[in-house]
Amino acid sequence: MAYAAKWINENERVRFDDFLAQHPKGHVLQTWEWGEIKSRTGWRPWRLLLEEGGEIKAAASVLERKLPVLGMPIFYVPRGPVLTWHDQELFDAVLGAIKGLAKKRGAIFLKIDPDIPSSDREPEQFLRSRGFRSAETGKGFEGVQPKYVFRLDITPEEEELLAGMHQKTRYNIRLAKKKGVQIRRGERADLPEFYRVLKETTERDRFLVRAYSYFEDMFDTLVPAGLAELFIGEYQGQVVAGTLAFTLGDKAWYIYGASSNSHRNVMPNYLIQWEMIRWAKSLGCTMYDFRGVPGHLTEDNPLYGLYRFKKGFNGEYTEFIGEWDLVCRPFVYFLWRHLEPVVSDLIKGLISRLRRRRGGSGKSGQERTSGEVKNGLSRARR
C-alpha cells in the first residue's frame, strides 16, 4: 500500500480541518486555526497530509519551537497525529514524513501525546518498537496535556443525563436556576469581564494564566470558525462565572473556567457546565470532555475538590497513554531533560518572590481549570 505524504499550505486548509472534524481521533488542537494561534506565540506550524488515491488517510499539525539557550528546535504534535492507530503501516508513513522534516530542521526530539486510552496497550508497545520513550512527569498536571480527564457520553436525552449525575450536582444545578442565575453565550465585548473573573480565580486558587491578548486571539480565531464558544454566568446583573469551550466534529471540550469570589453560594459553576453540555448536544456532539483532573485521587490531595466537582457530572474517568518522545539528538535531549527542571524551579522561585513583594500568595500552582504548565512546552498547552 503506497501513501503520498505532503506538507500543505493555506490552499488545503478546509480539507485538512474537514478530515479532522470527521475522524474519531480528530482534536481541536490539531486544527489549522490552532496552529495559527500558536504561530503568534513563538511556534511554527507544519501541516501534513497522507493520502491514498487522493483520499486523506492521516493528518498531523506539527509545532516547531526553538528552545532558549540551546537554540535548537523541538517538534510537538498535540493530541496527534490523527490516524487509525492500529494501522501500523499508516503510522510508519506519517512518522517517516515527520522524521524527514525533523532531520532537515535539526530538531532535538519529537513529542506526541495522542488521544489513546491507557487500556489500549497495542499502540504503546508499537511506539516503543519505533524508538519512542515514555516522557511521564507525574500524576497531577505536570504534562503538556492532561493525562487524566472525565469524558461524558452526551447522546442520552437531557433527563437521562441529569438522572445519572450525583444527587448533589443535580441539586446545585437546580439551585442556581431557582436563585436566578442566568447563563448566556458570550460576545467579544464580554471578554474583559470574563478575564476579570478569571484573574479572580487565579489569585484565589493560586495558578498562572496567560495575558488578556491571548484570549482575544483565541476568541477572534476560533469562535468565528465555529471551534469555540464563550459562556457567561450572571447573577443580579453581575458576571459571576465564565467558561470557554472548544468543539470539533462530534466532540466538545471544557477548556477555561472562571468564577467570582462573589455569590459562589448560588452555584453558577454547576449551571454553566450543564448549559455547555446542552449546547454541545445541540451541535450534534456525542462526547463532552471536562479536561484535566489529578491522577492521585485520595481526599487529601489539594486538587480533590476539582476531581469531585467534575466527577459529579457522571463522566467516565479516562487515562491516556501520556507523552512519548522520539529522540533525534540524544546528547542535547539529555541536557534538556536534566537542565529544564532546574531552570523551571528557578523561574517558579522568582515568580514566588515577586508575588510576595506585591503582597500576593507567594505560590504558583499547576493548572486546575485553566493555567500553564511550567516546562519547556508550556506555551503549547493552550
- pLDDT tens for 139-148 read 555 568 999 9
For residues 76 and 144, the answer to whether their CB atoms sit within 8 Å is yes
198 and 267 inside one domain:
yes
For residues 380 and 143, the answer to whether their CB atoms sit within 8 Å is no
Residue 361 binned pLDDT confidence (cut-offs 50, 70, 90): very low
- The reported pLDDT for the residue numbered 358 is 54
Distances, alpha carbon 262 to alpha carbons 70, 195, 265, in Å: 46, 15, 8
Last residue in a domain, options 273, 294, 319: 319
Q: How many domains does the chain have?
A: 2
Region 368-381: mean pLDDT is 39
35 and 100 inside one domain:
yes
Domain presence at residue 143: no
255 and 122 inside one domain:
no
162 and 311 inside one domain:
yes
Q: Does pLDDT of 73 surpass 50? A: yes
Region 282-296: mean pLDDT is 92
Task: Out of 41-55, 64-78, 161-175, 185-199, pick the least confident.
Answer: 64-78
The CATH code of the domain that includes 76 is 3.40.630.30
For residues 73 and 45, the answer to whether their CB atoms sit within 8 Å is no
In tens, the pLDDT along 161-209 reads 999 999 999 999 999 999 999 999 999 999 999 999 999 988 887 778 8
197 and 303 inside one domain:
yes
Residue 381 binned pLDDT confidence (cut-offs 50, 70, 90): very low
Region 222-241: mean pLDDT is 97
- The reported pLDDT for the residue numbered 335 is 85
Q: State the residue range of the domain holding 226.
A: 148-319
Domain presence at residue 365: no
Q: Does pLDDT of 373 surpass 50? A: no
Q: For residues 74 and 333, give the distance between their C-alpha atoms in angstroms, rounded to a whole number.
A: 10
Domain presence at residue 370: no
Domain presence at residue 362: no
